[in-house]
Amino acid sequence: MAQPQGGDVEATHRFRTPRDLVVVLVLAVVGILIALPQALSAERWSPDTLFYEAQVHELQGTPRTAARDEVFSSNLAATLKRNEQALAPRLRRVDNPAWVTYSSRFYRRRWSVPAAATAIEPLAGTRSLKIISLLGYVVVGPLLFLLLRRRFGFAASAGAAVLCMVLPPLLTQAGGGGTDTWGLALLVAGLLFAVLTRERGPRWLPAWIATLLLLSVTRDATVVLVVAVAWLALVDRSRRAVALLVTGVLASLPAPLIFSAPLRDNLAYVFRDFRIPTDTSWSSILHAYPSRFVDMLHSDARYPVDTAVPPFTVLVGLVALVGVCALFALRERRDPFIAMLRGSVLGAVLTILISVNATDFRLELVFVPGVAAGLALLAERLIVRRSRAPARRVAPIAAESP
């Protein structure tokens, strides 16, 4: 369906047809089928998941220091410790109590996934973090479809959601037991509630605020939503957009204020290859920033060819790049939805510039909503163009003589 030109463009599609519900269910089933093999595979413990497991123990009543010692001295950390045996003691991480104590501060803000894992731990045991992470992956596809249907047609929304579900970084992180999948799911949910608040009024504002609060204790990605609604407010200039911005800023503040981890310390820690920094001054950070940024770009450029299936990764990566480019290249006059998704991409760029961390595109998952919107916009333009193309006239076939 073509989008009306000029003026304030409202969403032309609504989630109201039976086939929309079918697609949501199908996407959830597809997500489960993709997640199931990872759920049955062995756990992949990393320093991140060990810290989250320690927080699970803490939520179960173990004192903070004892919970950390309990996890990092258990068999869960044995493989990581064996991998560090060739290193000098001062260069070790998991097998270094001083490093464990120092690094734990950067995980204290992320409580939602450990809390959910604690709830299912009596049934799932040490797989609880992995299962919660996989559930986050399962809901990403349906949430993306629901978000895109506020603006795009059925086929474009479903196709873009499916393409984003098979992005290699998302598939890799799905069963990792971390917070990445739920960070993305809550990011998409926040954008959806922002759209609903703008379209349907303040009754959706509590859902928007609750999502920001939950995201703030899941991943450091609230800046993406705040920049998205800030861009929306600049373009839309409505009271609802301003309300989204003000409440978004306020809802994103409690977590960093309560669980303080200074940005300067975090950058110094990352720049020293995740070891205890000896210099946390801004002058040393700014001096190291350019080279670290170049290293990150080089690592990101190498990622597609270093994966297990390079052709597939390169192809999907190019599709994602096309999506982002299409989101900005295709002109949409006064379209609040497109403005907000463009703002989310700007917020994602800011997130990457602040983190300056090569993570095999794990942190870059914040671009996924923008990628999905760009792909849907491009698909819808192609569908409209094809529907408007004049049909070719075929000359009648002359009847054969008897």
Q: Each residue's pLDDT tens digit in the chain (402 positions)?
A: 334 333 334 444 455 678 889 999 999 999 999 999 988 888 889 999 999 999 999 999 999 999 999 999 999 999 999 998 888 888 889 999 999 999 999 998 999 999 999 999 999 988 999 999 999 999 999 999 999 999 999 999 999 999 999 998 899 888 888 999 999 999 999 999 999 999 999 999 999 999 999 999 999 899 999 999 999 999 988 899 999 999 999 999 998 888 877 888 889 998 888 889 988 899 999 999 999 999 888 888 888 777 766 777 788 888 888 999 999 998 777 889 999 999 999 999 999 999 888 888 888 899 999 999 999 999 988 887 776 656 444 444 344 333
**Residue 51 CB neighbours (<10 A):** 21
Residue 90 burial (C-beta neighbours within 10 Å; 0-12, 13-18, 19+): exposed
Q: Token pair for residue 78?
A: 């044995």
What is the distance between the alpha carbons of residues 8 and 20, in angstroms, rounded to a whole number?
Answer: 26
Q: What is the C-alpha separation between 126 and 322, in angstroms, rounded?
A: 40
Beta-carbon count within 10 A of 41 CB? 11
Q: What is the model's pLDDT at position 387?
A: 66
Rounded to 10 deg, the angle between the 336-355 and 310-329 helix axes is: 130
* Per-residue model confidence (pLDDT) at position 48: 93
pLDDT at res. 389: 58
Tokens of 320: 């994602």
The contacts of residue 120 (CB under 8 Å, 6+ apart) are 128, 131, 132
Q: How far apart are the first and last CA of the chain?
A: 49
Task: Report how far Cα 320 is from the mean position of its chain's Cα atoms.
Answer: 14
The answer to whether the CB of 233 falls within 8 A of the CB of 249 is no
Q: What integer pLDDT is reported at residue 308 of this predicted model?
A: 67
- pLDDT for 361 equals 85
The per-residue pLDDT for 302 is 82
Specify the pLDDT at position 388: 66
Distance in angstroms (rounded) separating the CA atoms of residues 242 and 190: 15
User: CA Rg, the chain, in Å?
Assistant: 23
pLDDT at position 43, please? 82
Domain boundaries, the chain: 18-39+135-385
Q: State pTM to two decimals.
A: 0.89
| Three-class secondary structure assignment of the chain | CCCCCCCCCCCCCCCCCHHHHHHHHHHHHHHHHHHHHHHHCCCCCCHHHHHHHHHHHHHCCCCHHHHHHHHHCCHHHHHHHHHCCCCCHHHCCCCCHHHHHHHHHHHCCCCHHHHHHHHHHHHHHHHHHHHHHHHHHHHHHHHHHHHHCCCCCHHHHHHHHHHHHCCHHHHHHHCCCCCHHHHHHHHHHHHHHHHHHHHHCHHHHHHHHHHHHHHHCCCCCHHHHHHHHHHHHHHHCCHHHHHHHHHHHHHHCHHHHHCCCCHHHHHHHHHCCCCCCCCCCHHHHHHHHHHHHHHHHHHHHHHHHHCCCHHHHHHHHHHHHHHHHHHHHCCCCCCHHHHHHHHHHHHHHHHHHHHCCCCCCCHHHHHHHHHHHHHHHHHHHHHHHHHHCCCCCCCCCCCCCC
